[in-house]
Each structure stands twice: as C-alpha cells, then as structure tokens.
Amino acid sequence: MSCDDVARDLEAYVDRELDADSIAAIRSHIGACASCRQRVAEREALGRLVRSVPYRVAPDRLRARVVADVERRRSLYQWIAWATAAVLIVSLGAAIIFVRSATVRSDALVADLVDSHVRSLLADHLFDVQSTDQHTVKPWFLGKLDFSPPVIDLTPTGFPLVGGRLDYLSGRPIAALIYQRQKHTINVFVWPASNQGSAPRERAIRGFNVRHWVHDGMSFWAVSDLNEAELNEFVRAFQMAPA
Amino acid sequence: MPSRGFEEVVLPHLDAAYNYARWLTRNDAEAEDVVQDACVRAMRFLPSLRDDDARPWLLAIVRNVWYSRAARRAGSPERLPFETATYDPPDRAPDPEARLLQQQSVGQVREALEQLPPDFREVVVLREFEEMSYKAIASVIGVPIGTVMSRLARARDRLSALLRSGPLPMERCR
C-alpha cells in the first residue's frame, strides 16, 4: 500500500465504505507513515467539525401542515374513488342496456327476415330473376344494388340455385338468393356487414330455422323451413364453395 | 389507496427531509415549502415505493422539488461549473493547522458549508448528517457511486480550505 493508494481510498476509509482487508492495509500503512496519518486525522477532524453543527429538525408547524395536507388529499382521493365507482356502475348499466337493446334489435331483424321469407312464398314473388345459372343471377343484381352478392350454384351438393330477388330490409335494398332442397325453399339474404358477429349464429322462430354468418364483409342470413341438420349442411356447402 | 402508510413510511423521515431541504435552500421558509411540496408528491408516488428504503427516496423527491423550484425562479439553480472550477487542494497541513481547524466555531463551520456549491454541499450533508452510505447518496442525487466519492473528496478539500482561510474571494463575489 502506497501513499497514493491511501489518497485514493481516503474518503472511503473515513466513511467506513471499505472492506475489512482494505481497512487493515490502510491501518498498517498509517501506522508507519506520518503524513498519511496526518491526512486521515484531518479528514476525521473535519467530519467531527461538520457533525458539530446542530441537525435541523422539522418545525412542528411544518409537521402539522404536512399532516393536514395528507388528510385533505386522502379525503379527496376517497371522493375520487367513490366517483370512479359510481361512473363504473353507471357505465356497466349502460353497457347492459346497450347489449339488451342490441339483442332486441337482432330479434327484430330475425323476425323481419322470416317475414320476408314467408312473404316470398305466399305472394308468388319468389324470383325477380329465375335461373339456375349463377352467371345469369349475379349480373342481374348489377345496377340494382351498391354491392355484388356472391352467387354460388350448389347443385352438386343437392341445393340447386333457383333464382335471385331484390328485397328490402331495415331501410336498404338487399339481395336474396333462392335455393331449393326437394320441396323446401331456402332464402339467403345478403348485404354488406356493418358490425361483425354480434348477432347469434343460430335461431329458430315460428318453425323456421335461421342461420347467420359473416364472410368477406358480407352478412349472410339463411332462412328456411328445412330441418336443422340439412340447413347446417347447406350453410357448410355455401361456405365451402368457391365463390 | 394512494395515501396508505404515509404516516408510517414518509413521516418518520420528515426531519431528514427538512434538514436536507434547509441545507439546499439555506432558508427556513423555503425549506418548509420544499418539504411540503415533496410530501405531496411522495404521497402520490407512494404506491411505487415498494419495499425500498423510504429515506433516500424521499430525499430524492426533496431534491427534485428544490431543483424544479430553483429552475422556475432563476432559469437554473446555481450549479457547480465542474469544467472551470479547478481547485488545488491545500498542501498537507502540519499539526498546528489541524488544531486551528478544530478551533472553528459552529457558526463558522455552518457558514463555510453554506458557501460550498450545492453539488458539493449536498454530498457532505447526506454523508455527515444523514450518515448515508455512498450507495444511498448515489440514489438520492442520481449519480454513480464513484462520483459520490470523488465529489465528497473535492467537497471536503474545499471545505477545509474555507475553514483555514475564511471565504475564498470567488465565493464572496457570488
């Protein structure tokens, strides 16, 4: 240990930041070196001198101010917590009402679709264009709608396309594609989807089965008196078929 | 709750906060304002404290409050011009001078300490009055431990020079 080493570790030594080995090394050096002993003694004297200046404690009025501040803020935070809880409860209520009204709206939509299906059978207005050829049906919609519904012939899977029709629902014209299974008629209503999948996928209403799906931004609703299994088969065939 | 535990966690260090703020500000009223502001911030940030030692954490807040107040008031607080303030430590003092050092009155020591630039003053205060480790001091002032040590060395050299010779001309002009 040299005098330079002592100079380097001087602060750490007087501040007791050194490990035991370094402390021992410095002790043995200053035992033999008067000038380093002097340096250390000065530093220690300086420390004692500084510590002789009285510590200034916080005045009582400051303590009182801080405590009062904390109390005031604590009640403010409590108020904020209550207000937050109230806002949460109100939003939750609003969310429930919103979801329920959405359900009511989708119930109304399904009822309208079934009505439309029934009307198409009653009034002898099943087709606007009667064709089993998808290449006849699809162009027919051009100029009548602001979208082009996918028209797929499902004859190979036992659901022949029989025609297309313009329909009107919720204030907009929509496409209806008509398919046949033996004596059963399937109406597939198509329009651009406005929101994704909030409506239920499967419904049954007044003996009619309703299936709903969304694909490529289009909302599809299949309505028929066909039994559930066969209607599901139709939906699968429709979804699997190349457009 | 944001304020839970303030009494147990922060209030025990109020004296330390005040002593430190008083040395930084060199003014009773301003020290009280700084501490009060710091306590409000401490209350708000208390949830982020976790299990760390609250004292360096609170003192770091005190320091930030003081610096931002000083910056608002004067553009920037007096900072030590490290680049220009070259300072030659005094020659090793012989015994008579060491004795002289010990004859200083408390008032003179306080005055000398207040004349130190704040960056020097605060490391001495945190070390000698708060008896903080270098690590804790480093966390209060936001510098590496090695910087704490070198700053302490220079601060003490400067302080003993002040105590031997009275205020340096440079300090008087400030």
CA neighbours within 13 Å on the CB side: how many for A218?
Answer: 20
Mutate to test the interface with B, among A9, A19, A42 (most CBs of B within 10 A): A42
Number of domains in chain B: 2
Indicate yes or no: CB of A56 within 8 angstroms of CB of B19.
Answer: yes
Whether residue B90 lies inside any domain: the answer is no
Whole-number mean pLDDT of chain A? Answer: 88
Residue % of chain B over a pLDDT of 70: 76
* Residue B127, domain member (yes or no): yes
- Please determine, for residue A145, whether its predicted confidence score (pLDDT) is greater than 90: no
Model confidence at A88: pLDDT above 70:
yes
> What is the pLDDT, as a whole number, of residue B86?
43
Kindly report the CATH number assigned to the domain that includes residue B57: 1.10.1740
Looking at the structure, tell me whether residues B54 and B117 fall in a common domain: no
The yes-or-no verdict on residue B84 having pLDDT over 90 is no
Give the residue numbers spanning the domain of B128: 95-166
Higher pLDDT, A27 or B101: A27
Are residue B16 and residue B64 in the same domain, yes or no? yes
Q: Tell me: do B64 and B112 sit in the same domain.
A: no
Question: What length is written for chain B?
Answer: 174
pLDDT given at position A27: 93
In a domain, B132, yes or no: yes
Task: Supply A169's token pair.
Answer: 């629902």
pLDDT by residue (tens digit) across A166-202? Answer: 988 878 889 999 999 988 999 999 998 876 555 668 8
User: Are B68 and B99 found together in one domain?
Assistant: no
Question: Nearest by CB to A46, which of B2, B14, B159?
Answer: B159
**Inter-chain contacts counted by CB atoms under 8 A, chains A and B:** 110
Residues A191 and A201: their CA atoms lie apart, in Å, by: 16
Residue B37 has pLDDT above 50, yes or no: yes
ipTM value > 0.90 = no
- Are B65 and B126 found together in one domain? no
Element (H, E) at A149: none
Which residue is closest to B20 within chain A, CA to CA? A56
Specify if B125 maps to a domain.
yes
Task: Take residue A74 and report the two structure tokens written for it.
Answer: 């604590």
Range from A128-137, A141-150, A170-179, B122-131 that averages highest in pLDDT: B122-131
Q: What mean pLDDT do residues A77-88 have?
A: 91
Residue A127 pLDDT exceeds 90:
no
Nearest CB partner across the interface for B40, out of A39, A63, A69: A69
Backbone angles phi, psi at A114, to 5 degrees: -65, -40
The domain boundary, picked from B72, B104, B125, lies at B72
CA distance B7 to chain A (A): 8
User: CB A11 to CB B14 under 8 A?
Assistant: no
Distance in angstroms (rounded) separating the CA atoms of residues A57 and B11? 12
Cα distance between residue A163 and residue A134, in whole Å: 8
Q: What is the pLDDT of residue A200?
A: 66
Is B49 a member of any domain?
A: yes
B173 inside domain: no
Do residue B120 and residue B61 come from a single domain? Answer: no
B57 and B101 share a domain? no
Residue B119's CATH number: 1.10.10.10
Evaluate whether residue B106 is within a structural domain.
yes
For residue A86, the model assigns a pLDDT of: 93
Q: Chain B partners of A84 at a C-beta cutoff of 8 Å?
A: none
Instruction: Please provide the DSSP assignment of B37-105 as one string.
Output: HHHHHHHHHGGG-TTS-HHHHHHHHHHHHHHHHHHHHHSS-----TTT---PPPPPPPHHHHHHHHT--
> Domain for residue B117, yes or no?
yes
pTM > 0.90: yes or no: no
Instruction: Tell me the chain A residues in contact with residue B17 when contact means C-beta distances shorter than 8 Å.
Output: 58
A74 and B3 in contact by Cβ < 8 A? yes
Cα separation, A30 vs A236, in Å, equals 94
Residues B66 and B99 occupy one common structural domain: no
Q: How many CA atoms lie within 13 A of A40 on its CB side?
A: 24
Instruction: Indicate if B106 and B63 belong to the same structural domain.
Output: no
Within this chain, do residues B20 and B61 fall inside the same structural domain, yes or no? yes
